[in-house]
């Protein structure tokens, strides 16, 4: 299955998208199900510390200032191993992400 991206918020104006090699800053909430009531396993928002990384799968489809839900199949996540006491084996993961910055540029 891979990664499915559903953009849930697009900012007004001309969209700016990240590209391969860009450094992005995002806020995210990771859950074991698609509902906001499903078990949360990680959240940059709760730490009040945005996550910085080099662009990966899924984020290139999210415009700067945009929000999206990413559905990540087990083969692209932790597969048969899972993570003890956190993510069961063969779990589909769901992330709510907000793209805050691309190479230091904020919306």
> Which 3 state secondary structure label does DSSP give 16?
coil
1 burial (CB, 10 Å; 0-12 / 13-18 / 19+) is exposed
Give pLDDT tens digits for 16-57. 999 989 999 999 999 999 988 899 999 999 999 999 988 877
- Note the maximum CA span of the chain: 44
Is residue 93 within 8 Å of 76, Cβ to Cβ? no
pLDDT at 5 over 90: yes
What's the pLDDT at 104? 95
CA distance 54 to 102: 10
CA distance 1 to 45: 28
List, in order, residues 6 or more apart from 97 with CB less than 8 Å away: 26, 27, 28, 58, 59, 62, 67, 68, 69, 70
CA distance 15 to 98: 14
What's the pLDDT at 57? 76
- 3-106 maps to which CATH number? 3.10.50.40
What's the pLDDT at 58? 78
Annotated domain spans of the chain: 3-106
Give pLDDT tens digits for 55-105. 877 789 999 999 999 999 999 999 999 999 999 999 999 999 999 999 999
């Amino acid at each position: 299955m891979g990664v499915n991206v559903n953009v849930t918020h697009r900012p007004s104006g001309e969209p700016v998208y990240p590209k391969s090699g860009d450094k992005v800053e995002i806020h995210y909430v990771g859950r074991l199900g698609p509902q906001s009531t499903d078990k949360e396993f990680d959240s940059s928002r709760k730490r009040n510390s945005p996550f910085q990384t080099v662009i990966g799968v899924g984020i290139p489809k999210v415009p700067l200032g945009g929000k999206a839900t990413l559905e990540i199949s087990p083969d692209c996540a932790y597969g048969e191993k899972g993570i003890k006491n956190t993510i069961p084996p063969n779990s589909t993961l769901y992330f709510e992400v907000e793209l805050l910055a691309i190479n230091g540029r904020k919306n």
